[in-house]
Amino acid sequence: MTEQRRARILIVGAGSMGIITGYHLSLAGVDVTFLIRPHRAEALSRPQILYCYDDNKLKEYKDYSYITNPSEIIGANYDFIVITLDGASLRNETGLSLVKTIGEAARQTNTKIILGSVFFDVRTWFLQASGLAAEQVTNGHLDIHVYSPKDVTLPIIPPTDPELISKADFAYTDRLGQGFTVDDSSPAVAEAFAKIYNANGISKCAVKSALECAVEINPLFPVFAACELLDWPKLQDISGKGEIWSLVVASVKEIQDLSIHGELGQQAAGATTEASLAASLAAWEKHMFPLDLQAFNRFHHGKKLKAQGREHLRACLSYGAVEGKPMPALKELLRRVEDHEVTAA
């Protein structure tokens, strides 16, 4: 009986999302290769040490290879390419060049693309920039919360072990029921990837409708913008922030109501109230314990992905303008955040 061939997956980027996704795919028996920038090669030349909040233990991740030259992916015929660049990095000049190379490598092949870059309607942009067929590409996002303790020190809440975290390259928690989500923009790609990922035995990949994912993710960005204005209060306290909180809720509803979100978005906008949004955010914060969620968000969304967040809100306004929706609450929130940034600088 012949041994089943290992799936070959290229992960573009070896930051927090790339490494933790690669770790779980390796547990599933996947042959993982990272495409990295040359300055990351030294760090990846040794095993990656991962701290898991969920069992308070260290994991060693070493079953991977890496390349530094994007042209090497042409002709490599990977089963999947998982893109983990943030939305801003994907769409800048360097990112666009890489997208074109990915398009050249995957065009007219069986290679499937998981687009893990979070941005408003990013798949439409990616298909146009890469020239790939729609059935080859689906959106994905990481539900695992992961960061590098070398980049930021988060508050230690028992039973978290500070000594173990200090030894880790990355720390993570997988507490949301699924560690990864793919949408059904391309159902065949989504189902095939989920099947591979789910063989890891400890983390799950969910398949959701593209509309459901968009309606869940896009309205979060006004929340992060307001948290920046308010210096990242606990989510359980954010509803007590008066006028800014009312502005956030109105902005969320404006985004939900964009036509790109369909009837599901309209239903969400109708159901969203100050009380319901506050309750869902507080529940998220409580569920992530002992990870300090707002300390994580301050770093992840307030620093690391700040540019992406700003561009996301501007993109929402642009789509609203095309639809004839002025979105006054979101416009005012973005103005305040931009003014705050200038003042803080």
**Burial category of 342 from C-beta neighbours within 10 Å (exposed 0-12, middle 13-18, buried 19 and up):** exposed
119 versus 317: the higher-pLDDT residue is 317
Does 38 reside within a domain?
yes
Token representation of residue 300 = 């992840």
Average pLDDT over residues 169-183: 97
Q: Phi and psi (nearest 5°) for 142?
A: -90, 125
Residue 2 lies in a domain: no
319 plus 184 within the same structural domain: no
Does 259 share its domain with 312?
A: yes
Residue 302 — very low, low, confident or very high, per pLDDT cuts 50/70/90?
confident
Same-domain status, 154 and 272: no
Same domain, 133 and 265: no
For 49-74, the pLDDT digits (tens) are 999 999 999 999 999 999 999 999 99
User: In this structure, what DSSP letter does residue 146 have?
Assistant: E
Helix (H) or strand (E) holding 23: helix 16-27
**For residue 343, pLDDT beyond 80:** no
The answer, yes or no, to whether residue 342 has pLDDT greater than 80, is: no
Does residue 222 have a cis peptide bond before it, meaning omega lies within 30 degrees of 0?
no
* Interval 243-285: pLDDT, tens: 999 999 999 999 999 999 999 999 999 999 999 999 999 999 9
Q: Which one-letter DSSP state was computed for residue 152?
A: -
Q: What is the pLDDT of residue 2?
A: 46
Q: Give CA separation, 149 vs 67, 68, 341, in Å.
A: 25, 24, 25
**Whether the predicted pLDDT of 331 surpasses 50:** yes
Mean pLDDT of 149-166: 96
Place of tokens 């003042």: 343
What percent of the chain stands above pLDDT 90? 88
Strand partners, 8: 31
Instruction: Identify the domain containing residue 180 by its residue range.
Output: 8-209
Task: Express each pLDDT in 8-22 by its tens digit.
Answer: 999 999 999 999 999
Q: How many CA atoms lie within 13 A of 146 on its CB side?
A: 26
Q: For all residues of the chain together, what is the average pLDDT? A: 94
What is the count of structural domains for the chain? 2
- Mean pLDDT lowest among 132-141, 198-207, 230-239, 333-342: 333-342
Backbone phi, then psi, for 22, in 5-degree steps?
-60, -40
85 found inside a domain:
yes
Does the pLDDT at position 5 exceed 90?
no
114 shares its domain with 148: yes
Question: pTM for the complete prediction?
Answer: 0.93
Q: Where are the alpha helices (DSSP H) in 107-186?
A: 122-130, 162-166
Check whether 345 has a pLDDT greater than 90.
no
pLDDT level of residue 108 (50, 70, 90 thresholds): very high
d(CA 281, CA 283): 5
Work out the average pLDDT over 75-82.
Answer: 97
Do 203 and 230 share a domain, yes or no? no
Angstrom distance (rounded) from CA 179 to CA 146: 11
Report the candidate in 75, 74, 68, 57 with the shortest Cα–Cα distance to residue 12.
68
Whether the predicted pLDDT of 344 surpasses 90: no
> Do both 223 and 180 map to the same domain?
no
Check whether residue 204 and residue 295 sit in a common domain.
no
Within this chain, do residues 203 and 225 fall inside the same structural domain, yes or no? no
